[in-house]
Structure 1
């Protein structure tokens, strides 16, 4: 079949090799620590049915098989469509010059001094030619990174891969349950060991973000999958390395609605998008943190931490993993 972009897809039956069976369970979903953000609250009871989950993030090697089989072109490899983009910006913004709408993506750039951590533009650089094959832009490649997680992946890209593989993206309830390893009180996928003692448990930023990374975990950027211990469900890199897309639309009010409606079975997320910071942007949930996460910045490696990104955006710290339903 062909998708709306004209890319031909030949879908497969799901292959459960490389996947882990996650048992059903009931747990308290949401933030349980003093670090919890407003969108992690209130804590609410959720039942998740059994499902299979990729034991690792999708790697460059796996994603290349999808590209080779389908000819799919990722969002970061396409010139920007102004007609689509203008619906996400305030009315009255004029169309940029065509030269500014060329294909590219956002790449992290370490700063030379401490900056305002609320201003993301201080460490992200729009880079023409940056995409999954060229993570840092032209001149970079993935030849020695085939076992690293694929990056510069938008929600749309991840969803297309999942469909091709006969799988789907996880709901954030499934993701949080899987990340916890079945331990309802875990702050992190590895348990409750304080982050400053856990440099050998995940790939994250050790030092002063975004000025200096001491690289105590051995990796400045992404790490090969399985470089760190698996959690109690047998999953790798549920904290750090790259952010992972979830199926759910991001809505800051979702948890309040869940709490009001009592115990929820297999929640599928909000039916609408709502982020008061960027109300025009349709966003999906991302989970798990990345190699850039730090206590001073986002603490994204916490099991309950929710973040979001517009569905057509990719960064060099954003990837995904898939799940499959029980047959």
Structure 2
């Protein structure tokens, strides 16, 4: 009996050690399919290229951003689910393949899609940090020198390319096509003087957009496109358009973002303690106790995938 108990404790200890390691790795990697976790921290926003790109330091909380631009296939799901009308160029054979990025969308269209998908448009600062990578100041997503083999721009291809194209041109965070393919809407209003007064912490853009030639206030566009010249590819380049306008529609798309859930240190520790107890309970074949413990862990950290998977395992064991 003692030998059996010792074996149970040993198994429990091994499960604890291994699962704690996996839990940390899973949490660090992010929990959302086809999204990239951008960690909290500081980066240099802006450049010396243009007067509206004044260099300044920005600190952002952790967030997630789509690894790929929104595709035609995904946008079709959105239209079917909501009855949202098709964008411009929907039937253009150069641009309408499922794996190509959706184009011809207004800011309003892009915003509606992201809300339907449980996300939001990224802020301008979030977009730029994801493009510049961990180094925090890359001129292009891949580094400091232009490489025509790493982006679709300047009509070199003559159409958009699939959202997972140019893997050699991804940003340091692993985000695709942050230079070229399609211009991307972000959440912010555009003001050419905003960088001179913006908040250093989680800037959200100007309170209202600049009104060019009385055509209406404008939102920010980022990233260049398959039609645009190489000067639009640098990670700090700012462009703009009225939110209801898709006049650049043949090369105008988007990607979504999401705020990362933040668990306090105290809650995280409470969750880990309860998780350990659940694993020990599993090792001792005390599934009822294990289930109670894992529920405590989830109360502290509801989105933890390791805890959710462990609860499923316990419930399966209880049904045998």
Alpha-carbon shift at residue 142 of structure 1 (Å): 5.6
The two structures have a TM-score, normalised by structure 1, of 0.66
In the alignment, which of 171, 175, 181 is matched to residue 231 of structure 1? Answer: 171
Asked whether the 8 Å contact 1:133–1:141 carries over to 2, the reply is no
Residue 294 in structure 1 maps to residue 310 in structure 2 = no
Q: Deviations over 1:58-85 (max 9, x none)?
A: 00000000000010125x5xxxxxxxxx
Q: Higher helix fraction: Structure 1 or Structure 2?
A: 2
What secondary structure, in the 3-state scheme, does the structure 2 residue paired with 1:72 have?
coil
Alpha-carbon shift at residue 16 of structure 1 (Å): 1.7
Counterparts of 1:323 and 1:133 in 2: how far apart (Å)? Answer: 24
Asked whether the 8 Å contact 1:132–1:153 carries over to 2, the reply is no
Aligned residue in 2 for 1:16:
32
Could you say which structure has the greater relative contact order, defined with CA pairs below 8 angstroms and 6 or more residues apart?
1
Alpha-carbon shift at residue 322 of structure 1 (Å): 0.1
Alpha-carbon shift at residue 280 of structure 1 (Å): 3.8
The two structures have a TM-score, normalised by structure 2, of 0.68
Counterparts of 1:165 and 1:318 in 2: how far apart (Å)? Answer: 19
Asked whether the 8 Å contact 2:94–2:160 carries over to 1, the reply is no
Q: Mind listing any 5+ residue stretches in structure 1 that lack a counterpart?
A: 1-14, 77-130, 206-212
Counterparts of 1:60 and 1:256 in 2: how far apart (Å)? Answer: 38
Counterparts of 1:224 and 1:203 in 2: how far apart (Å)? Answer: 10
Asked whether the 8 Å contact 1:25–1:182 carries over to 2, the reply is no
Aligned residue in 2 for 1:268:
204
Aligned residue in 1 for 2:123:
171
Asked whether the 8 Å contact 1:162–1:169 carries over to 2, the reply is yes
What secondary structure, in the 3-state scheme, does the structure 2 residue paired with 1:274 have?
coil
Alpha-carbon shift at residue 256 of structure 1 (Å): 1.3
Counterparts of 1:142 and 1:311 in 2: how far apart (Å)? Answer: 22
Alpha-carbon shift at residue 134 of structure 1 (Å): 2.3
Stretches of 4+ aligned residues off by more than 3 angstroms: 140-143
Residue 204 in structure 1 maps to residue 136 in structure 2 = no
Counterparts of 1:24 and 1:301 in 2: how far apart (Å)? Answer: 25
Q: Higher strand fraction: Structure 1 or Structure 2?
A: 1
What secondary structure, in the 3-state scheme, does the structure 2 residue paired with 1:278 have?
helix
In the alignment, which of 252, 260, 276 is matched to residue 326 of structure 1? Answer: 260
Residue 133 in structure 1 maps to residue 66 in structure 2 = no
Counterparts of 1:251 and 1:264 in 2: how far apart (Å)? Answer: 16
Q: Mind listing any 5+ residue stretches in structure 2 that lack a counterpart?
A: 1-30, 262-320
Aligned residue in 2 for 1:180:
132
Counterparts of 2:189 and 2:134 in 1: how far apart (Å)? Answer: 24
Counterparts of 2:101 and 2:142 in 1: how far apart (Å)? Answer: 20
Alignment coverage as a number of residue pairs: 227
